[in-house]
């Protein structure tokens, strides 16, 4: 669960020192979504592999 939180906070930390305009916020949200999906797929595959 901490990995998903880190995936969502990562982009916010990267853009933390820059002014937050709408484009940057949407880009951060997109990056967070992609990272969350990627981590979810990795965890899902790991669970399937360990249970098989």
- Do residues 24 and 15 make contact, with C-beta atoms less than 8 angstroms apart? yes
Spell out the domain ranges in the chain: 1-7+22-47
- pLDDT, mean of residues 19-26: 68
With tokens 């484009």, the residue in question is 23
Q: What's the rounded Cα separation, in Å, for the pair 12 and 4?
A: 13
pTM: 0.49
Q: Which helix (H) or strand (E) holds 31?
A: helix 22-51
Supply the pLDDT for residue 23. 72
Choose between 38 and 21: higher pLDDT.
Answer: 38
In this structure, what DSSP letter does residue 15 have? Answer: T
In this structure, what DSSP letter does residue 18 have? Answer: S
């Amino acid at each position: 669960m901490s990995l998903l939180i880190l995936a969502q906070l990562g982009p916010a930390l990267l853009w933390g020192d820059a002014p937050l305009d709408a484009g940057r916020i949407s880009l951060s949200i997109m990056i967070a979504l992609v990272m969350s999906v990627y981590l979810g797929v990795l965890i899902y595959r790991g669970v399937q592999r360990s249970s098989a």
